[in-house]
């Protein structure tokens, strides 16, 4: 029997390269939040979200052929439409939250997405929630309570919007997980971009204000950084296992806090960092347990639920 050629063998894990790409991923997504923060006060959230996706359709061009050749069933089209609908609501809510609360709070509360995915997977996909996983979920929600501190300060509409965002993004991720087993990644990503752009259009039309060329340029940068972040995230997952790359996502909260303090005059809040650290620790523990038990991964890495 002829031996496999070197090119046919899977690449060996390279933790250093995986960590590097995950650091770049975090920087890309922090850049997304920074740019949205810049245009937030001048462009309505629904319109900002629409322009981000509409301008980003240029990146969907290579995915058109796979989408046309996919021969999607009626069930698949319904699931893609449902994902587009919930993601539309989540994106608008996220853009709104960026105008109401600090970058660090948005980043920290976004870490809850994988926790909601874990809970929803247990409810709808039959995933088993062992005691240790339940304890990790409890720790994550304690982290959220530390960030929000109800009773010690006012919970703003921005905080509520981010809680809602985390839930609907989790629903969208589960649908994507189902469809990823039935069609190619290009179709999954392309259908999301198209359906969300269509879904956002009427909301943007209702609040439309003529954007300037500068605002369009900023929002195109959002699409560029978001696309680059998802690409570098894929490179990180290819180079190293989630157990290596997942903890690196905590650096994103550190950078978001520094950016908010230095560029936008947002006070650094130790409670936000502490709560975010607890959430990340819980997610990392769940990821490690899944790897040790060699289970089919359901809990996503934090960047996988980004917009």
- pLDDT tens across 104-147, in order? 999 999 888 888 888 888 888 777 778 888 898 999 999 999 99
Q: Is residue 128 part of a domain?
A: yes
Domain tally for the chain?
1
Q: Is residue 7 part of a domain?
A: no
Asked if pLDDT for residue 296 goes beyond 60, the answer is no
| Reported pTM | 0.84
Mean pLDDT along residues 70-98: 93
Q: Is residue 9 part of a domain?
A: no
Q: What are phi and psi of 150, to 5 degrees?
A: -60, 140
Q: How far is C-alpha 216 from the geometric centre of its chain's CA atoms? A: 23
pLDDT for position 8: 47
Q: Is residue 4 part of a domain?
A: no
Q: Is residue 12 part of a domain?
A: no
DSSP H stretches of helix in 69-153: 74-98, 103-110, 113-124, 131-148
Q: What is the dihedral of CA 102, 33, 297, 234, to 10 degrees?
A: -160
Q: Is residue 126 part of a domain?
A: yes
Q: Which of 26, 298, 22 is closest to 170 using CA atoms? A: 298
Q: Is residue 255 part of a domain?
A: yes
Asked if pLDDT for residue 241 goes beyond 80, the answer is no
Q: Is residue 161 part of a domain?
A: yes
Mean pLDDT along residues 74-94: 94
**Domain of 239?**
17-305
CB 124 within 8 A of CB 282: no
| 188-to-66, 91, 177 alpha-carbon distances in Å | 10, 17, 9
Asked if pLDDT for residue 35 goes beyond 70, the answer is yes
Asked if pLDDT for residue 1 goes beyond 80, the answer is no
């Amino acid at each position: 029997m002829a031996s496999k050629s070197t090119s046919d063998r899977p690449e060996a894990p390279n933790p250093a390269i995986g960590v590097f790409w995950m650091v770049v991923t975090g920087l890309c997504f922090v850049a997304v939040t920074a740019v949205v923060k810049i245009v937030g006060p001048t462009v309505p959230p629904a319109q900002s979200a629409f322009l981000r996706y509409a301008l980003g359709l240029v990146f969907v061009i290579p995915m058109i052929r796979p989408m046309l050749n996919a021969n999607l069933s009626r069930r698949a089209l319904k699931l893609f439409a449902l994902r587009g609908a919930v993601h539309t609501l989540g994106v608008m809510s996220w853009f709104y939250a960026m105008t109401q609360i600090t970058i660090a709070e948005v980043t920290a509360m976004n870490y809850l997405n994988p926790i909601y995915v874990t809970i929803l997977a247990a409810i709808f996909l039959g995933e088993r929630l062992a005691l240790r996983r339940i304890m990790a979920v409890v720790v994550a929600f304690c982290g959220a309570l530390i960030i929000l501190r109800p009773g010690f300060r006012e919970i703003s509409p921005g905080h509520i919007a981010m809680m809602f965002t985390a839930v609907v993004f989790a629903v969208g991720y589960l649908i994507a997980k189902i469809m990823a087993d039935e069609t190619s990644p290009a179709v999954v990503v392309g259908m999301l971009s198209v359906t969300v752009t269509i879904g956002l259009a009427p909301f943007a039309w209702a609040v439309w204000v003529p954007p300037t060329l500068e605002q369009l340029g900023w929002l195109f940068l959002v699409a560029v950084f978001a696309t680059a972040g998802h690409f570098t995230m894929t490179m990180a997952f290819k180079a190293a296992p989630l157990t290596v790359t997942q903890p690196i996502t905590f650096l994103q909260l550190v950078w978001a806090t520094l950016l908010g303090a230095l560029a936008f005059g947002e006070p650094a809040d130790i409670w936000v960092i502490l709560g975010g650290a607890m959430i990340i620790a819980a997610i990392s523990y769940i990821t490690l347990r899944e790897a040790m038990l060699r289970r089919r991964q359901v809990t996503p890495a934090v960047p996988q639920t980004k917009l």
